Structure 1
Amino acid sequence: MKNNQSNTMPAYVHSQEAQQKLYKRTLTIVLMSQIFGGAGLAAGITVGALLAQDMLGTESFAGLPAALFTLGSALAAYLIGGISQRKGRRLGLSFGFITGGIGAIGVIGAATISSPILLFISLFIYGAGTSSNLMARYAGTDLASEKQRATAISIAMVATTFGAVAGPNLVTPMGKVATAIGLPALAGPFILAAVAYILAGLTILIYLRPDPLLVAREIALHNQIEANTESAIEANKLRVNRVGVFVGAMLLVLSHVVMVAIMTMTPVHMQNHGSGLTAIGLVIGLHVAAMYLPSLGTGILVDRIGRTAMAVASGMTLALAGILAAYAPGDSLLWLTIALILLGLGWNFGLISGTAIIIDSTNVHTRAKTQGSIDVWVALGGSAGSILSGIIVAYSSYAILGFIGAYLALLLIPIIFWARMKQKN
């Protein structure tokens, strides 16, 4: 297959029409994989905390499952970034998705034998799917022009909506499936996750050929040589807008920390106030829909009105979500739903604008490795947010968690304007 890819590479390097066809084909393959990946992602978000609480008998460690699979996603992001840098997007992403599916199978086993140790190990491995789901957005941008990048990110993300919204709302039906075959009800969503992640990985592995990142590198190299600037190749490899990378990274990390912390404890908060799994699934489903469904519009806005404006909108929306979550009564399905929808929307603004800033600030020769490294910090931030969210709620309240989230979100705004002033100077 490697030889086939090498033989077809010149056709893409020398033809803009072929490049556009490959760009559209790549987006289609990413869309297909993200539909499956979204369903796999939703399982851990919805019932991971409840499964741990059921096994351990306390909510103090309810944030640990999300912490573990976000910590696992940090390691996976590093590995996927490294594999993608050396071998291309296809092998990196398929490795992550299939590994996540194996982790989901382990969670099913842990729930069956009621083993917290196996649960925690499996959730860590399951995190690889979460990382792949997020990093797949980069594959759609490799062949996109500067004015298409945010839109390409959004197209890749919007497909996740179908699986991610269906996932939480399949909690009760999948629980019945699990019970019917002799497994605990809470293991049901992870049956869906295992199948979904493995299908996503196989879709990427089989169909993402030729690899868009490898093609983009060949095109960049060819263009430099054609312009008789061979000496500039090495300089271009080293050229990185470090301020832009920092701002994009902070935007991704802080928005993710706020979103994960509040989202993780919402199912536990609702259950403590008498809500059932169906109501929890509805709220989380709408939250995940808000994370991904607005993506197409967000991408267009980021490309047209600018990265900075949408980054500020992210901070303000996340802050409003934290304040609403803090003041919403624990038994109010309406207000918690509104708060979680705003939480997802603010995260969406931050993810797409932050990703676009990072792509603008790097080059094709080192981009995959940089992207992977930043996603490591995103995952580590999410892991810290998950752990601290459980401790904060256990020793203070869910309202305090909301206020802390709002404060962190507002920190984004001075960081963004500092960077803008720095770049002008």
Structure 2
Amino acid sequence: MTTSLHTANDTAAIQKRALSVLFCTQILGGLAVGIGIAVGALLIEDMTGSSAYAGLGQSLFVGGSALVVIPAIRITERFGRRGGLAFGYGCAVIGSATVITAIYLDLAALAVSGYFLLGAASFSGLQSRYAAADLSPVEKRGTHLSIVVWAATIGSVAGPSIAALAERAWKGWTGGPDYVGSFVAMGLLCLITAVILPALLRPDPLLLARELSGETKAPKRSIADGFRMARANATVRTGVIAAALGHFVMVGVMAMTAIHVRHGMDDPESALTAVGVILGLHIGGMYALSPIIGRLADRYGPRPVLIAGTAILVAACTVAGSSAVDNHVQISIGLVLLGIGWSAMTVSAALMVTGAVTPAERPSTQGFSDLAMGLAAMGAGLASGPIVEYLSYGMLNVFCAVVALAVLPLLLGKIASPDAAEEAA
């Protein structure tokens, strides 16, 4: 790396280029993730014949990061952000091929394993927000981070609806079984993204941030180091727990909303269209307001925004959980609020974790945070199906609201003296 890259102007130019590449790839990745979210519960319920297992596909999709995070962080430590991000999307390509094979062979277990790999796309999408913060000035870190989160709006909102279009196109071309078209489209999107990232994300923002901080010779770290950092650093610990609980609530409610909607409709194709619209609005809520959330976190610090996010999640559970099975308007409002609450929790928690560690410590600590989110997602998906099957969708929302409130004791401990410089420096 030449010394000219060490100037403030050149670093700002590199950061601008990195944000542009991450923005574009987030659109493609968002499309892929939106497709996977839209059809996951429907596919698993059709293959198993039980809504008790429907949440399994969603939990493994969002929790698939728990599988890839360990090797992905090792790759990131060695090759930078572009290597880890490309690895995640590459795993999702393999997952798409696995699910397609399972559909043709009618093997539910194989489909579930494929969904686990598909979750790697969700991992890469989440990790991209950290890549956006590597070279960002402290006072703009939340804003830059949230810009990349926002970019997923374009793809994710359209993704569920594209699932229905891909289905019709694939059936018109081949006459194949249900859902194959969706996973063909998802696999192609992930493949394109996996090729673009290594080619264009140069110089790598993480590697340059380490050089600028004089940490190029720092020892390579693992997820275990991230865990130890969370134990030792109260700010990191709070951010990790807040992100995990917010993710649990979002996945738990979202995973079974498709089933809740379909139980009120007789026509499968109409149900898929309705689910696509509702989940598209939900995903829009997840990402559309993230730049505003990032600015608020930069100005007031992450803790107040995390508390607001908790309140919004509880409101979302109240609205969605009290909806009738055929009241798609109320369900949509609840799911939009769910997305906004998740965005507040995820953006602010990421800012809190990133600001509390050095560039050399970031991949392992951020990876541990995403691992915790993935495990929380798996738990939410595994729990949501049986709760809806044996109790109700409303009771699922009550349970998730209680989980959301569990983070408040940690957040209220220092709310009397919130300071953006303290937790985002």
Both structures adopt the same fold (TM-score exceeding 0.5):
yes
Task: Name the structure 2 match of 1:412.
Answer: 407
Change (3 A) 1:55 1:286: same
Partner SS state of residue 304, structure 2: helix
Cα distance in structure 2, aligned partners of 1:419 and 1:87: 37
Residue pairs, 1:293-372, within 5 angstroms: 293-372=288-367
Q: CA deviation at 1:392?
A: 0.7
Change (3 A) 1:222 1:282: closer
Cα distance in structure 2, aligned partners of 1:380 and 1:317: 23
Change (3 A) 1:9 1:380: farther
Cα distance in structure 1, aligned partners of 2:193 and 2:361: 26
Question: Is structure 2 residue 167 aligned with structure 1 residue 175?
Answer: yes
Cα distance in structure 2, aligned partners of 1:69 and 1:9: 41
Change (3 A) 1:189 1:239: closer
Q: Is the 8 A contact 2:64 2:120 kept in 1?
A: yes
Cα distance in structure 2, aligned partners of 1:158 and 1:144: 16
Residue pairs, 1:37-48, within 5 angstroms: 37-48=29-40
Amino acid at match of 2:87: F
Task: Name the structure 1 match of 2:224.
Answer: none
Cα distance in structure 2, aligned partners of 1:107 and 1:338: 32
Cα distance in structure 1, aligned partners of 2:151 and 2:418: 35
Q: Is the 8 A contact 1:67 1:384 kept in 2?
A: yes
In the alignment, structure 2 segments of 5+ residues that lack a partner are: 217-227, 420-425
Partner SS state of residue 345, structure 2: helix
Please identify, of 192-201 and 70-79, the stretch whose mean Cα deviation from structure 2 is larger. 70-79
Query: Deviation string for 1:287-337 (max 9, x for gaps)?
Result: 001101111111111111221110001100000001111111111011000
List, as ranges, runs of 4+ consecutive aligned residues in structure 1 with deviation greater than 6 Å. 238-241, 421-424
Please identify, of 173-182 and 50-59, the stretch whose mean Cα deviation from structure 2 is larger. 173-182
Question: Is structure 2 residue 258 aligned with structure 1 residue 263?
Answer: no
Query: Deviation string for 1:7-29 (max 9, x for gaps)?
Result: x343212x111100000000001
Change (3 A) 1:414 1:222: closer
Amino acid at match of 2:291: L
1:114 corresponds, among 102, 106, 126, to: 106
Question: Is structure 2 residue 1 aligned with structure 1 residue 24?
Answer: no
Q: Is the 8 A contact 1:175 1:186 kept in 2?
A: yes
Task: Name the structure 1 match of 2:219.
Answer: none
Residue pairs, 1:176-191, within 5 angstroms: 176-180=168-172, 181-191=174-184
2:386 corresponds, among 388, 391, 397, to: 391
Cα distance in structure 2, aligned partners of 1:239 and 1:95: 25
Cα distance in structure 1, aligned partners of 2:53 and 2:129: 31
Cα distance in structure 2, aligned partners of 1:162 and 1:192: 16
Question: Is structure 2 residue 140 aligned with structure 1 residue 148?
Answer: yes
Q: CA deviation at 1:169?
A: 1.1
Q: Is the 8 A contact 1:23 1:144 kept in 2?
A: yes
Cα distance in structure 2, aligned partners of 1:390 and 1:307: 33
Cα distance in structure 1, aligned partners of 2:164 and 2:32: 16
Task: Name the structure 2 match of 1:139.
Answer: 131
TM-score (norm 2): 0.91
Matched pairs, number: 403
Q: Is the 8 A contact 2:29 2:193 kept in 1?
A: yes
2:188 corresponds, among 189, 195, 207, to: 195
Q: CA deviation at 1:422?
A: 11
Cα distance in structure 1, aligned partners of 2:38 and 2:260: 13
Query: Deviation string for 1:257-301 (max 9, x for gaps)?
Result: 000000000000110011611111100000001101111111111
1:378 corresponds, among 343, 352, 373, to: 373
Cα distance in structure 2, aligned partners of 1:222 and 1:400: 50
Please identify, of 259-268 and 414-423, the stretch whose mean Cα deviation from structure 2 is larger. 414-423
Please identify, of 18-27 and 108-117, the stretch whose mean Cα deviation from structure 2 is larger. 108-117
Q: CA deviation at 1:66?
A: 1.4
2:155 corresponds, among 152, 163, 166, to: 163
Q: CA deviation at 1:187?
A: 2.2
Amino acid at match of 1:290: G
Residue pairs, 1:55-70, within 5 angstroms: 55-70=47-62
Task: Name the structure 1 match of 2:222.
Answer: none
Cα distance in structure 2, aligned partners of 1:239 and 1:170: 41
Partner SS state of residue 171, structure 2: helix
Query: Deviation string for 1:345-398 (max 9, x for gaps)?
Result: 000000000000001111111111111111111000001000100011111100
Task: Name the structure 2 match of 1:227.
Answer: none
RMSD: 2.0
Change (3 A) 1:222 1:81: closer
Q: CA deviation at 1:420?
A: 5.0
Cα distance in structure 1, aligned partners of 2:163 and 2:144: 31
Q: CA deviation at 1:423?
A: 9.8
In the alignment, structure 1 segments of 5+ residues that lack a partner are: 1-7, 224-237
Task: Name the structure 2 match of 1:204.
Answer: 197
Partner SS state of residue 258, structure 1: helix
Task: Name the structure 2 match of 1:5.
Answer: none
Cα distance in structure 2, aligned partners of 1:209 and 1:326: 46
Q: Is the 8 A contact 1:174 1:185 kept in 2?
A: no
Task: Name the structure 1 match of 2:243.
Answer: 252
Task: Name the structure 1 match of 2:209.
Answer: 216
TM-score (norm 1): 0.91
Amino acid at match of 1:250: I
**Identity within the alignment, %:** 33
